Chains A and B, each alone.
Chain A
Amino acid sequence: MADRLTETFDPISLEIYWGRLISIADEAATSLVRTAFSTIVRESNDYATVIMDRNGDSICENTGGIASFSCILPKTTKIFLDRFPLESWRPGDAVITNDPWLATGHLPDFTVVTPIFHMGLLVGFAGCISHSPDVGGSLWAADCHELFEEGIRILPAHLLRAGEWNGTLLDILLGNVRVPRQVLGDLEAQVVANDVAVRRIVEFLDDTGLPDLLALSKTLQRRSDAAMRKAIESVPDGVYSATLDADGFDEQLTRIVCTVTVSGDTMHIDYAGTSPQINRGINCVLNYTHAYSVYPIKCALDPLSPRNEGSYRAITVTAPERSILNPVFPAPVGARQLTGHLLAGVIYQALSTALPDKIIADCGGAPSMRALFSGANQDGSSFSQVLFASGGMGAGPHQDGLSTTAFPTNVGAGSIEAYESVAPLLVWKKGLRTDSGGAGRQRGGLGQEVVIELRTDASARLSLLSDRHNHPAVGILGGLPGAPSVIAFEDGTKPHPKSRSVVEPGRRITLLYAGGGGYGDPRSRDRAAVLADLADGYVSSDAAKLHYGVE
């Protein structure tokens, strides 16, 4: 606090500069999303753009992308700086990687970083991460045994050098993917997004007369750091822990053990006791573990202040090496979100007694359940279509959980009409799932029911990434769990929840998305709220009687 007085920036200029930098990151993000081919980028916001200073420390990030990506990107940039020293960078360079350990935890995400030069000097970096339409390998699978099955791995390398594309790298990459045109198109979108940010930062420096970004960067990071520390100080010191179980892979359940230690203005999150890494693609690298640990803390404690490198300095995260939250190369990691998305729930569970007013119950949409159908159309052309839909959010202290809304990710839902227009699939139902929200003083959000039929003469492939079949989202502070996930054909047979199956033409498959956990004792729920739920059909009369004692 004391050094605020010695800052070079007054609180007015700082507000203006900060706002302008965020709008630059947003403009880059808009450009990225609009030109990307990847439906994942579009529908599940699987991207981020970040502005960094010349040390690779983040100054600001875009408003709407994946929150966790923006805290990984500066780490990757620092690795780029180790590999390519400052003096080696040229205007028009762009460096790329998709290494899970150096970047965001699985191969489909490409990180691209571009240097920003102003008056001949390297002043910072613009970076973005985007989920590629394809990286070869198994595509949408959690069942690989090694990283090498999951696709092509690009170690840090120049994608562009002084404005020239690295032809050799592109040839190797595009020669290993199913849809090279789209993969290249999305890389171009990333390069353009960075270029937009570079141009705007140069204009910003021209307009403000600042020589570089360093002083501003340090000041903004100090502000963010101070805001987070102030928020942590409000949490009573102590050691808080919780355990959460999930389906894992076949017989190998996933157990997350989380211990949160709050001491003054710092917080440490440790995962000692968590399941060991396994030989299936649900291992979650430490970068991703860290990102999905600090994000829920930011939401609960300091949701409003702008984010950058400083926001997370007060929080440390550790997980035992060779655990499922810190696997070692070449562990398979393709579906690392099936594990990483569980962390918010266990952290909130741990903090529930210390911060009952700031947290929510476990979410049915964590991890998100994804179904990919691929095969041939009647005319022989191929199709590949992901269904985006979510389970219900956990309930909070003062409101019911949002139905059909994901947390900690932000997976949107596309239109069924658009879905049916591009694939030989017919959706017979997409509706709220009665009684799926965990009972509680506040009820968990409802999941949904989707019924799909394949409408071709040939069978197709169904790839599933899902959890919560045997371990529903748990309730909190007396709340009950939500309904579990169910995926089944008409005859009751169930495809493997984390693997690939064959779907026969004309056969309908039902996907039930999990509900969110409840908050507080259901018997203390306001009677009028139960009656309203009954009227809306969110809760059946049996459940109202059983859980709420309302007839």
Chain B
Amino acid sequence: MTSTQPTQRLARIGVDVGGTFTDLVLYDPSRQLALTGKLLTTPEDPSIAIINGIKRILSEAGLQPSDLHSVVHGTTLVTNTIIERTGAVVGLITTSGFRDTIEIGRETRYDLYDLFLEMPPVIVPRARRLEVAERVTSEGDVLVDLDEDAVARAARRLVEDSKAEALAISFLHSYRSDRHEQRAAKIVRALYPSLPLSLSSQVAPEIREFERTTTTCANAYVQPLMHRYLDKLEAELVELGFAGRLHIMLSSGGITTVREAKAFPIRLIESGPAAGAMAASFISRIAGLDRVISFDMGGTTAKICLIEDGQPDHKFDFEAGRVRRFQKGSGLPLKVSVVDMIEIGAGGGSLARVDPSSGLLKVGPRSAGSVPGPVCYGRGGDQPTVTDADLVLGRLDPAYFLGGELELDVDLVRSAFDGKISTAINLDVDEAALGVQRIVDETMAAATRMHLAEKGKDPRKYTLIAFGGAGPVHAFNLARLLKVEKMVVPLGAGVASALGFLVAPPATDMVRTMVSRLDAVDWTAINALYADMKAEGVSLLCEAGAIEEQITFKATAEMRHRGQGFEIPVALPSLVLSDEHLDAIRETFFMSYRAQFGRILEDSPIEVLNWRLACSAAGTDISIGQGHAVADATLEGARRGTRKVKFEGHGWLDCAVYNRYMLPAGCKFSGPALVEERESTCVIGPDSVVSVDSSRNLIINLWFVN
């Protein structure tokens, strides 16, 4: 526990507001009690579902709002605002000659063969992008003084004439010197003290004007909305009697204060998905796994993330609001720290179809969504989906879907397969369903291989942790394709990602750009940068409830050979550096370079671009599982019978079916088998053995017969 609060308030709640559902999880450490809850999101005012959900889960736990230590909140509000383009009217003030930077962009076509590409619309249209005279060089020297009157004129014009609700200021090379941005901010604040204002030197102080300015404008775009939303939520929590802290989940998987979330709402863009990665990190820690592939498969997408030594990888750019959802390059490139995960259009709802021009079977990326949903829901869907294929193949029990809440219609599915797929490719329904499953699994395997390959990693050395509604259904096949020998499926896999809210530490990431050859770095300047960043990080984390002594710092620099275009992150040995560290830094650079590219270039000069500092309080591990233990549980008692399942290369096999909730810790059985729980079914193929660990995780070991 990080908390040394003198009060008795211990219980914590995590709330994830998703597009369809608002998920809640409550943890009371005094009783090792973990509860989950789910209710429909109230899109017109998300706080309604949040407050109702909190009331409900508190009463189930027998607690009062005043018993709560904290509420951790994750939201898709930011990402939805950008996807649906429903943000504020933003005005941009920028360097003379550069108002079109965000519109010109990278000048690249994201699809080489599409003559009629649709580009992501710019967040701030041209008429609201105003230029002022000023110029700073790449060394940070002032070449042209800031025209202060022009700043005031521009601000007035944007606010009075164009009705801007938020302003962004982004000047060239402001990552190197923020003098002009600060001065301009002062002028704007004097005119409009309460107007949300985003400065590029604060939102994303990194070189590359297009990405920095776009990020700054996107921040301004979501700011008014987030201000209103968080103010309202805070007020309602107080009204409820809540006296603890409200924390917000960041895209990086850390949590932060409401104040910080309001200043930099763009950093919440991947708030929800980050929780899943934090949950998988937590599970990897308690299961003692140091190399993990986290696999979260839901209704629309699958998310894959690498977790090493209990922590997810991070990256420092993210593409939001893609015009073509899974097409790289079709969205807005943002400079934000996010958990490094890939998201592909492969989920239970992914649609299967036969492509008329090639005659080949295709699966996804389009999804049936929740309306009409897969054919088997019987709600009007007529195009077979991955879930429908799973049903045909016996992987799902038509009578026990969502714990029996929704009865699935197998006949309807078979006739849909027959009409839409089987005849077109001349295969029977079972074979066609197996084809859908093979394709979706292979798609996920290919994406995972690629993700690991880009980091120079070999999937065979990793353990797969599977969760999400469809994750445990497909994980075994994925493990086979990746030649992974071990997989772990946590209890409550369908809602496991909410655990991430409870285990996430207060954290923040900072960056400064100072381009220099490694052998010519001005260490005094760099040490000053780090001292600055450290002070800022400590103050922020303490405000979020961290103890200063427990904060850990991780400094990295992004380096490359001079002339190359891709930087690799290199861990730095200290926050106070000198030439004495040069050899060690160079060594680490070469190690990472070799790991990623398989070779090194020893005599080619190295340069550094960005200097980063990650600050994190201690992680909060919780203890769950024991609370759920059923007395006198036995393997036989958990057995629900037998079901036939079709496996690739094996045909139909009899599988023992187990009730997940009745499986005792320490029991062992072999595949093929099915383990059912409310929100998901874990499918275990032949040539494997399953055991249940003390945290009630299913541990599945696979062997490969060659």
Contact = CB atoms under 8 A, between A and B. Distances in A.
Please determine whether chains A and B interact with each other in the same assembly.
Answer: yes
Given A15-B360, A19-B443, A405-B107, A185 B561 contact: yes
B609 to A, nearest CB: 9
A10 B361 CA distance: 10
A536 B137 CA distance: 29
Nearest to A302: B357
B358 interface: yes
Contacts of A27: 449-450, 453
B362 interface: yes
Given A19-B446, A421-B515, A431-B97, A37 B561 contact: yes
A196 B98 CA distance: 41
A537 B99 CA distance: 12
Interface of A: 4-5, 10-12, 14-16, 18-20, 23, 26-27, 30-31, 33-37, 39, 42-43, 45, 63-64, 67, 133, 181-182, 185, 188, 192, 195-196, 223, 227, 230, 298-300, 302-305, 358-360, 388-390, 396, 398-399, 402-407, 410-413, 415-418, 420-421, 426-432, 448, 451, 535-538
Nearest to A15: B360
Given A4-B359, A23-B450, A34-B597, A415 B209 contact: yes
B150 interface: no
A396 B116 contact: yes
Contacts of A405: 107-109
Interface string B339-358: 00000000000000010011
Interface in B104-130: 104-109, 112-119, 125-127
Nearest to A188: B599
21 contacts: A11-B359, A11-B435, A12-B360, A12-B438, A23-B449, A37-B563, A39-B563, A64-B112, A185-B601, A223-B358, A303-B114, A406-B107, A406-B109, A413-B104, A415-B210, A415-B211, A416-B172, A426-B143, A427-B97, A428-B97, A536-B126
B549 to A, nearest CB: 39
Q: Which of B126, B173, B360, B515 has the most CB of A within 10 A?
A: B360
B138 interface: yes
Contacts of A418: 207-208
A536 B122 CA distance: 12
Interface string B141-169: 00100000000000000000000000000
B411 interface: no
A536 B118 CA distance: 18
Contacts of A4: 359
Contacts, number: 199
Interface residues of B, number: 70
Contact of A429 (B97, B138, B563, B599): B97
Contacts of B425: 10-12
Contacts of B515: 421
B100 A432 contact: yes
Contacts of B449: 23, 27
Contacts of B604: 181-182, 185
Given A12-B439, A537-B126, A412 B106 contact: yes
Interface in B421-457: 425-427, 431, 434-435, 438-439, 442-443, 446, 449-450, 453-454
A430 B104 contact: yes
A359 B107 contact: no
Contacts of A26: 450
Given A11-B425, A188-B599, A303 B115 contact: yes
Nearest to A1: B359
A12 B209 contact: no
Contacts of A451: 97
A417 B357 contact: no
Contacts of A182: 563, 604
Interface in B84-108: 96-101, 103-108
Q: Which of A19, A35, A413, A428 has the most CB of B within 10 A?
A: A35
A390 B107 contact: yes
Contacts of A303: 113-115
B115 A420 contact: no
Nearest to B435: A12
Interface of B: 96-101, 103-109, 112-119, 125-127, 137-138, 143, 172-173, 175, 207-211, 354, 357-362, 425-427, 431, 434-435, 438-439, 442-443, 446, 449-450, 453-454, 515, 561, 563-566, 596-599, 601, 603-604
A16 B125 CA distance: 43
Contact of B565 (A39, A403, A406): A39
Nearest to B139: A421
Contacts of B358: 223, 227, 305
B89 to A, nearest CB: 14
Contacts of B597: 31, 34-35, 192
Given A12-B425, A15-B439, A37-B561, A192 B599 contact: yes
Nearest to B483: A207
A251 B435 CA distance: 63
Given A34-B566, A35-B597, A451-B97, A16 B107 contact: no
A305 B117 CA distance: 17
Given A19-B446, A537-B126, A420 B439 contact: no
A550 B273 CA distance: 49
Nearest to A428: B97
B104 A420 contact: no
A4 B108 CA distance: 38
A538 B137 CA distance: 29
B442 A19 contact: yes
A403 B209 CA distance: 19
A212 to B, nearest CB: 20
Nearest to A133: B563
B362 A15 contact: yes
B349 to A, nearest CB: 19
A342 B237 CA distance: 65
A10 B435 CA distance: 10
Nearest to A421: B138
A35 B596 CA distance: 10
Contacts of A431: 97-100, 104
A474 to B, nearest CB: 17
Nearest to B143: A426
The 7 closest A-B pairs by CB, nearest first: A429-B97, A12-B435, A303-B113, A413-B107, A415-B208, A42-B565, A412-B108
A227 to B, nearest CB: 5
Given A15-B362, A31-B597, A429-B98, A389 B107 contact: yes
A43 B106 CA distance: 9
A448 B103 CA distance: 11
Contacts of A396: 115-116
A511 to B, nearest CB: 13
B295 to A, nearest CB: 18
A180 to B, nearest CB: 11
Contacts of A5: 426
Nearest to A45: B108
Contacts of A536: 125-127
B103 A35 contact: no
A407 B108 CA distance: 10
B431 to A, nearest CB: 8
A404 B105 CA distance: 9
Contacts of B101: 430
A404 B361 contact: no
B292 to A, nearest CB: 22
A430 B138 contact: no
B450 A403 contact: no
Contacts of A417: 138, 172-173, 175, 207-209
A34 B113 CA distance: 23
Nearest to A306: B358
A144 to B, nearest CB: 26
Nearest to B112: A67
Contacts of A230: 357
A181 B601 CA distance: 9
A11 B446 contact: no
Contacts of A36: 564-565
A30 B453 contact: yes
